Structure 1
Amino acid sequence: MTVRPATPDEHLSVMRIVNAAMLETDASEVKERIEEETVLVAEEENRILGTAVLDPRDSGTHIDAIAVLRARRGQGIGRELVETARERLGRLTAEFDPKVRPFYESLGFDIESVEDREERLLGTLEREH
């Protein structure tokens, strides 16, 4: 498996994976992020298995969406996407639903509640030294 920046011609594949995971993303924003090389894809044998849509910010890079094909979940693809993002971009943050907390905890994210939003959590993963 290889993790690399998505190319513009992979926009539709990226959107299909994100939409299948029922994540809210704006297609035009994803297209812009692909052009900025802040969308990663995990591929194997020329098939995209997962994607991470990233948003570089002053406080670090925010994971807007991370999604893996349903049939390939639990195989370390999401982990590889996050680890590659951290290697490339440093400090990561993510806001997520409590049901995916174990995924973020397993990657070493420090997790706290989001103010005024009981159903959301915020995770932070510092750059490795």
Structure 2
Amino acid sequence: MVRDATAGDLPAVMNVLDGANIAIDADTVSRRIGSDMVLVAGDRRRPLGVLVAIPRREGAHIEAIAVRRRRRDQGVGTALVEAATERWGRLTAAFDPPVRPFYESLGFDVERRGERFWAERV
């Protein structure tokens, strides 16, 4: 189940992001929750995955996506991206090389930009 994060989800959302070594601060995540730009996958008690986005003129930019280590490769990240696509349409993301296969497997067009990658999905 994928749903909008609520203010009460902030500690659990930060736990998932911190567990994946995602460098994003709680104030930023709180603001994104307040603007309905954070999705969580899992039940009400414990998010299994989190997607934080920034609104764009067309669609949204994925600022962070993380899945609990024990739940990786079980479709949680895919469910988050699919829900984000349904909600916002065009998605973009910037990421480090190890994450490239994830984005490619979801049909993103990926290109190298310096030491990082840029992806777009329409």
What TM-score do the two structures reach when normalised by structure 2? 0.96
Query: 1: distance between equivalents of 2:76 and 2:86?
Result: 15
RMSD: 1.1
Task: Indicate the larger mover: 68-77 or 38-47.
Answer: 38-47
Instruction: Determine whether 1:109 maps to 2:105.
Output: no
2:121: which partner in 1? 125
* Alpha-carbon distance, 1:58 to partner: 1.7
What TM-score do the two structures reach when normalised by structure 1? 0.91
Structure 1 gaps, min length 5: none
Query: 2: distance between equivalents of 1:3 and 1:82?
Result: 10
As a proportion of its length, which structure holds more strand?
Answer: 1
Query: 1: distance between equivalents of 2:97 and 2:55?
Result: 23
Does the C-alpha gap of structure 1 residues 34 and 45 become closer, same or farther in structure 2, counting only changes over 3 Å? closer
* Alpha-carbon distance, 1:85 to partner: 0.2
| Residue type of the alignment partner of 1:122 | W
* Alpha-carbon distance, 1:40 to partner: 0.2
* Alpha-carbon distance, 1:59 to partner: 4.2
Task: Indicate the larger mover: 54-63 or 5-14.
Answer: 54-63
Give percent identity, aligned residues only: 52
Kindly tell me the number of residue pairs found equivalent between the two proteins.
122
Instruction: Determine whether 1:93 maps to 2:92.
Output: yes
Query: 1: distance between equivalents of 2:44 and 2:93?
Result: 29
Q: SS of 2:73's equivalent?
A: coil
Q: How does 1:1-129 map to 2 (within 5 A)?
A: 2-44=1-43, 46-114=45-113, 118-126=114-122
Query: 2: distance between equivalents of 1:87 and 1:60?
Result: 10
* Alpha-carbon distance, 1:6 to partner: 0.3
Q: SS of 1:75's equivalent?
A: coil
Task: Indicate the larger mover: 4-13 or 44-53.
Answer: 44-53
* Alpha-carbon distance, 1:113 to partner: 1.4
